[in-house]
Structure 1
Amino acid sequence: MHAYTHPLQRRESERRSFGGAAPVSDTGAPPLAPLAMPDQPLHRAAEPRRFGPEPGLGRRRAVLAAFCALATGLAVFAVTAAMARDGLDPLEVVHVSLILVLFGWMAFSFAANLGGLWLSRRADAWERAMAQAPLPALTSRTALLAPIYHEDVGPFFARLATMRAGLHALGLTPMFDIVVLSDSRRPEVVAEEQRGFAAFRRGGVGPRAYYRHRPENIDRKAGNVAEWVRRHGGAYDHMVVLDADSLMDGLTLWRLVAAMEADPSLGLIQTAPTIVGRRTVFGRLEQFANNLYGPLAAWGVAWWSGAEGNYWGHNAIVRVAAFAQAGGLPHLKGKKPFGGHILSHDFVEAAFLRRAGWGVRLAPALGGSFEESPPTLIDHLIRDRRWCQGNLQHLGVLGARGLHPVSRLHLARGVLSYALAPLWIALVVTGALLSAPDAATGEAGGYPLAGAAVLAVSLAFVLLPKLMSYAMMLAEGRARRFGGAWRALASVGLETVASTLTAPVIMAAHTRALLSVALGRDAGWSAQQRDEGRLSGRAALAFHWPEMLIGLALAALGPAMGAGLSPWLAVAAASLVAAPFIVWWTASIARGVRLRDAGLLLTPGERPTPPVQCEGVNSFKPSMPETISARQASRPAVAGSLNSRMPTMAVPTAPTPVQTA
Structure 2
Amino acid sequence: MHKPFARQPVHSGPLRSRWKIWQRGDVPPVHEEAPWEGVARRRMRVVRALALLTTALLTWLSNELLTGQHLGERARMAYLVIYALMMFFMAGSFYKMLFGAWFASRGPEGNPWHPAHRAKDPSPEDRVAVLFPVYHEDVPRVAAGMAACYRSLQRETPEALPLFDFFLLSDSRKSGYRLTEMAAIYDLRHRFPEGKFYYRSRPVNSHAKLGNITDFFRRYGREYSYALVMDADSIMEGAAMTELLRMMVGNPRVALLQTNPRPILRKTIFGRMMQFSAHLYGSVFTYSMQAMNLGHAIYIGHNAMIRSEPFVRSAILPKLEGKKPWGGKPLSHDIIEAAALGRAGYEVWFLPEILGSFEEIPSNMVGFLVRERRWMIGNLQHIRFWFLKGLKSLHQETLIQGVMAYFSAPLWFAFLLISGYSVIHFLQHATLNISGLGQFRVPAITLLASSMVFLFLPRILAVLANLPSQRVAQYGGKGKLLYSVAMETVFSFFWSPVMMVFITLFFWQWIRRTNVTWGTQNRGIRNSLYRNPGSILVR
Q: Tell me the TM-score normalised to structure 1 length.
A: 0.75
Tell me if structure 1 keeps the 8 A contact 2:120–2:247. no
The CA distance in 2 between the partners of 1:341 and 1:456, in whole Å, is 44
The CA distance in 1 between the partners of 2:536 and 2:138, in whole Å, is 22
Tell me if structure 2 keeps the 8 A contact 1:167–1:206. no
Paired position in structure 1 for 2:18: none
1:519 is aligned, of 512, 517, 534, to 512
Paired position in structure 2 for 1:223: 211
Deviation at 1:516, TM superposition (A): 1.3
The CA distance in 2 between the partners of 1:481 and 1:235, in whole Å, is 41
Matches within 5 A, 1:632-647: 642=537
Paired position in structure 1 for 2:65: 82
Which ranges of structure 2 fall in alignment gaps of 5 or more residues?
16-20
2:140 counterpart of 1:157: no
The CA distance in 2 between the partners of 1:246 and 1:395, in whole Å, is 29
Deviations 1:560-606 (A, max 9, x none): xxxxxxxxxxxxxxxxxxxxxxxxxxxxxxxxxxxxxxxxxxxxxxx
Tell me if structure 2 keeps the 8 A contact 1:249–1:643. no
Query: Percent of counterpart pairs with the same letter?
Result: 31
Deviations 1:210-247 (A, max 9, x none): 01000101111001100110111000011011111101
The CA distance in 2 between the partners of 1:251 and 1:130, in whole Å, is 16
Paired position in structure 2 for 1:69: 52
Paired position in structure 1 for 2:82: 98
Deviation at 1:413, TM superposition (A): 1.2
Tell me if structure 1 keeps the 8 A contact 2:14–2:321. no
Matches within 5 A, 1:252-651: 252-438=240-426, 441=429, 443-444=431-432, 448-449=440-441, 450-451=443-444, 453-532=446-525, 618-622=526-530, 628=531, 642=537
2:163 counterpart of 1:175: yes
Deviation at 1:306, TM superposition (A): 1.5
The CA distance in 2 between the partners of 1:122 and 1:135, in whole Å, is 23
Deviations 1:519-548 (A, max 9, x none): 11111122000124xxxxxxxxxxxxxxxx
The CA distance in 2 between the partners of 1:621 and 1:273, in whole Å, is 19
Deviation at 1:440, TM superposition (A): 7.0
The CA distance in 2 between the partners of 1:150 and 1:452, in whole Å, is 54
Q: Secondary structure at the match of 2:228?
A: strand
Residue identity in the other structure for 1:193: E
Residue identity in the other structure for 1:462: L
Q: Secondary structure at the match of 2:92?
A: helix
Pick closer, same or farther for the CA change 1:486–1:641 going to 2, 3 Å: closer
Which ranges of structure 1 fall in alignment gaps of 5 or more residues?
1-27, 533-617, 623-627, 633-638, 645-661
Pick closer, same or farther for the CA change 1:285–1:362 going to 2, 3 Å: same
Tell me if structure 2 keeps the 8 A contact 1:40–1:328. no
The CA distance in 2 between the partners of 1:384 and 1:402, in whole Å, is 30
Tell me if structure 2 keeps the 8 A contact 1:135–1:255. no
Q: Secondary structure at the match of 1:216?
A: coil
2:194 counterpart of 1:211: no
Q: Secondary structure at the match of 1:181?
A: strand
The CA distance in 2 between the partners of 1:356 and 1:411, in whole Å, is 17
Paired position in structure 2 for 1:576: none
The CA distance in 2 between the partners of 1:266 and 1:168, in whole Å, is 26
Q: Secondary structure at the match of 1:56?
A: helix
Paired position in structure 2 for 1:48: 29
Tell me if structure 1 keeps the 8 A contact 2:284–2:462. yes
Tell me if structure 2 keeps the 8 A contact 1:34–1:231. yes
Deviation at 1:65, TM superposition (A): 1.3
Pick closer, same or farther for the CA change 1:80–1:441 going to 2, 3 Å: closer
Q: Which has the higher helix share?
A: 2
Pick closer, same or farther for the CA change 1:643–1:280 going to 2, 3 Å: closer
The CA distance in 1 between the partners of 2:527 and 2:103, in whole Å, is 36
Paired position in structure 1 for 2:134: 148
Tell me if structure 1 keeps the 8 A contact 2:260–2:352. yes
Paired position in structure 1 for 2:40: 57
Paired position in structure 2 for 1:546: none
Q: Secondary structure at the match of 1:218?
A: coil
The CA distance in 2 between the partners of 1:248 and 1:40, in whole Å, is 34
Tell me if structure 1 keeps the 8 A contact 2:122–2:245. no
The CA distance in 2 between the partners of 1:315 and 1:378, in whole Å, is 25
The CA distance in 1 between the partners of 2:536 and 2:154, in whole Å, is 9
The CA distance in 2 between the partners of 1:175 and 1:40, in whole Å, is 33
Residue identity in the other structure for 2:528: F
Q: Secondary structure at the match of 1:362?
A: strand
Tell me if structure 2 keeps the 8 A contact 1:138–1:258. no
Deviation at 1:314, TM superposition (A): 0.6
Tell me if structure 2 keeps the 8 A contact 1:268–1:319. yes
Tell me if structure 2 keeps the 8 A contact 1:127–1:363. no
The CA distance in 2 between the partners of 1:394 and 1:134, in whole Å, is 33
The CA distance in 2 between the partners of 1:471 and 1:371, in whole Å, is 26
Return 78-87 or 253-262, whichever deviates more.
78-87
Deviations 1:175-225 (A, max 9, x none): 100011000111111112112222122123564110100010111100110
Deviation at 1:69, TM superposition (A): 1.1
Deviation at 1:453, TM superposition (A): 3.0
The CA distance in 1 between the partners of 2:538 and 2:118, in whole Å, is 17
2:103 counterpart of 1:119: yes
Residue identity in the other structure for 1:352: A
Pick closer, same or farther for the CA change 1:378–1:484 going to 2, 3 Å: same
Q: Secondary structure at the match of 1:212?
A: strand
The CA distance in 2 between the partners of 1:89 and 1:210, in whole Å, is 67
Tell me if structure 1 keeps the 8 A contact 2:119–2:249. no
Deviation at 1:385, TM superposition (A): 1.2
The CA distance in 2 between the partners of 1:268 and 1:245, in whole Å, is 20
Pick closer, same or farther for the CA change 1:164–1:641 going to 2, 3 Å: farther
Deviation at 1:442, TM superposition (A): 5.8
Pick closer, same or farther for the CA change 1:186–1:256 going to 2, 3 Å: same
Return 170-179 or 73-82, whichever deviates more.
73-82
The CA distance in 2 between the partners of 1:339 and 1:129, in whole Å, is 37
Pick closer, same or farther for the CA change 1:127–1:205 going to 2, 3 Å: farther
The CA distance in 2 between the partners of 1:270 and 1:202, in whole Å, is 32
Residue identity in the other structure for 1:53: P
The CA distance in 2 between the partners of 1:279 and 1:643, in whole Å, is 16
Q: How many residues align?
A: 519
The CA distance in 2 between the partners of 1:507 and 1:205, in whole Å, is 52
Q: Secondary structure at the match of 1:318?
A: strand
Residue identity in the other structure for 1:497: V
Q: Secondary structure at the match of 1:269?
A: strand
The CA distance in 1 between the partners of 2:505 and 2:112, in whole Å, is 39
The CA distance in 1 between the partners of 2:326 and 2:272, in whole Å, is 34
The CA distance in 2 between the partners of 1:425 and 1:477, in whole Å, is 41
Deviation at 1:125, TM superposition (A): 3.8
Return 419-428 or 117-126, whichever deviates more.
117-126
The CA distance in 2 between the partners of 1:416 and 1:273, in whole Å, is 24
Deviation at 1:35, TM superposition (A): 2.2
Paired position in structure 2 for 1:30: 3
